[in-house]
Amino acid sequence: MQTWSAPQVPSLPVRGPQVSVHDTSSGGLVATTPDDVARLYVCGITPYDATHMGHAATYVAFDLLNRAWRAAGHDVHYVQNVTDVDDPLLERATKVGVAWEELALRETELFREDMEALRVLPPRNYIGAVESIQLVIDLVEKLRATGSVYTVDTDLYFSVTADPAFGQVSGWDRDQMLEVFAERGGDPDREGKKDPLDCVLWRGEREGEPAWDSPFGPGRPGWHIECAAIALQHLGTGFDVQGGGSDLVFPHHEMSAGEVQVAERGEAFAKAYAHAGMVAYDGEKMSKSKGNLVFVSALRRSDVDPMAIRLTLLRQHYRSDWEWTDDLLWASVDTLASWRETLASGAGAPTRSVVDDVLAALADDLDAPRALAALDAWFAATAAGDTTEPSAAQTIRTLLDASLGLAL
């Protein structure tokens, strides 16, 4: 699939430190240890509606990781999928009377425009489920050879117990897993399954649904195998970070990891699993199914500066759950106006420690609020008349742009 265009990233005056992130699997901070090239997979959208602030917050969070790795001297191989065939997309397409392919194309295009406006660095490989059908079939075949696959009617299931490490991504017990499995696309009560937690690998053709030929009959990929196959193909096993929102911890990331680990005979799927908190609106998680949404594209159409949207997202720690309000957005609009005014003078307070503090904060579990506090202190000192450093404004502009993606 076509990705979106990359914003310019200016060069920083110093190299950033090694990057640590919170790993859901081990429950603590881990130092990432990429080779020259850091490998990142982030779960992409299901394109049946426009990008909302929850999506934007998640992709901006992993954009900070991308930028922190680059600041530390790594190249980044970033892969993202598009779930361009799945139940929610097909249901919405039927409801609104639009062809599912058309809906997916339209919403994916809007997402690209939103990401570009927010200055999110594009993935190197942007891969749809539909273009990955053969990859999925190959991975299911590989799993079949291990004896971890069985059939219920025309559907193929993965036996979660085939992975000795099953449960280690989320760290959840079975009761916790069972509680959310059905809400998040699972079918714990289906008759004929060996374990209620087993997940669909291949969904046999249903009337009125799209289907592709396969050695196991016509059908379409299950959700988890899609990301398993795409990540494995483009990044291999043991890549540095698997990312997404915290709603994907279980079952999605647990199942994708399990499928690859069984197919690859025990090799770990990823080294770390990082998750962004949930953005709420009107007291509930912002979600397409609930309809309590604030769209990036709608704000853009109302002439809101995308950098103000980005600043609003950056003011929250990526791991916290928080609620979007219009007041937060307007406060960011005011902050940007005052920052631009301060930067216009050219000279300003000394920048060396600000650069170090911002890079250190971002390398320490992407702590954007701490980075912004260091910048706020510099803006306050400069606005108060400190002109010690003649070209300070240019350094701060570079820092804001390269590390936080804020181009002023």
Task: Tell me which residues touch Zn ion (CB under 5 A).
Answer: 43, 227
Nearer to ligand 5CA, 106 or 285 (CB): 285
Distance between terminal CA atoms of the chain? 31
Quote the CA–CA distance of 313 and 306 in Å, as a whole number: 11
As measured in angstroms, the least distance from the Cβ of 256 to ligand 5CA is 8
Nearer to ligand 5CA, 194 or 290 (CB): 290
DSSP H/E element including 135:
helix 133-145
Nearer to ligand 5CA, 32 or 81 (CB): 81
**CB 181, CB 167: distance < 8 Å:** no
Who contacts 335 (Cβ-Cβ below 8 Å, separation ≥6)?
Answer: 311
As measured in angstroms, the least distance from the Cβ of 197 to ligand 5CA is 19
Structure tokens at 110: 């809007």
Quote the CA–CA distance of 376 and 370 in Å, as a whole number: 10
Helix (H, G, I), strand (E, B) or coil at 358: helix
Query: How many CA atoms are closer than 13 Å to the CA of 81, on its beta-carbon side?
Result: 29
Q: What residues form DSSP beta bridges with 40?
A: 78, 241
Q: For binding to ligand 5CA (CB under 6 A), which residues are involved?
A: 43-46, 54-55, 57-58, 81, 83, 227, 244-245, 247-248, 276, 278-279, 285-287
Using alpha carbons only, how large is the chain's radius of gyration in Å? 22
Angstrom distances, CA of residue 122 to CA of 74, 126, 239, 268, 274: 16, 8, 18, 26, 19
As measured in angstroms, the least distance from the Cβ of 178 to ligand 5CA is 20
User: 362 contacts which partner out of Zn ion, ligand 5CA, none, CB within 5 to 8 A by kind?
Assistant: none
Residue with tokens 């604030």: 294
Structure tokens at 312: 């609003």
As measured in angstroms, the least distance from the Cβ of 250 to ligand 5CA is 12
As measured in angstroms, the least distance from the Cβ of 244 to ligand 5CA is 4
User: 361 contacts which partner out of Zn ion, ligand 5CA, none, CB within 5 to 8 A by kind?
Assistant: none
Helix (H, G, I), strand (E, B) or coil at 130: helix
User: 276 contacts which partner out of ligand 5CA, Zn ion, none, CB within 5 to 8 A by kind?
Assistant: ligand 5CA
Nearer to Zn ion, 184 or 206 (CB): 184
As measured in angstroms, the least distance from the Cβ of 256 to Zn ion is 6
As measured in angstroms, the least distance from the Cβ of 11 to ligand 5CA is 30
Nearer to Zn ion, 81 or 312 (CB): 81
As measured in angstroms, the least distance from the Cβ of 298 to ligand 5CA is 16
Nearer to Zn ion, 43 or 299 (CB): 43
Nearer to Zn ion, 66 or 382 (CB): 66
**CB 114, CB 313: distance < 8 Å:** no
Nearer to ligand 5CA, 130 or 248 (CB): 248
Query: How many CA atoms are closer than 13 Å to the CA of 3, on its beta-carbon side?
Result: 16
User: 57 contacts which partner out of ligand 5CA, Zn ion, none, CB within 5 to 8 A by kind?
Assistant: ligand 5CA
DSSP H/E element including 334:
helix 326-343
User: 400 contacts which partner out of Zn ion, ligand 5CA, none, CB within 5 to 8 A by kind?
Assistant: none
User: 45 contacts which partner out of ligand 5CA, Zn ion, none, CB within 5 to 8 A by kind?
Assistant: ligand 5CA
Q: Tell me which residue has its CB nearest to Zn ion.
A: 43
Longest pairwise C-alpha distance within the chain:
75
Angle between helices 326-343 and 368-383 (to 10 degrees): 50
As measured in angstroms, the least distance from the Cβ of 277 to ligand 5CA is 7
User: 60 contacts which partner out of Zn ion, ligand 5CA, none, CB within 5 to 8 A by kind?
Assistant: none
DSSP H/E element including 77:
strand 75-82
Structure tokens at 29: 């901070």
Strands (E), 109-213: 125-128, 149-152, 155-158, 199-204
Task: Quickly count helices (H) and strands (E) in the chain.
Answer: 13, 14
As measured in angstroms, the least distance from the Cβ of 81 to Zn ion is 6
Nearer to ligand 5CA, 185 or 218 (CB): 185
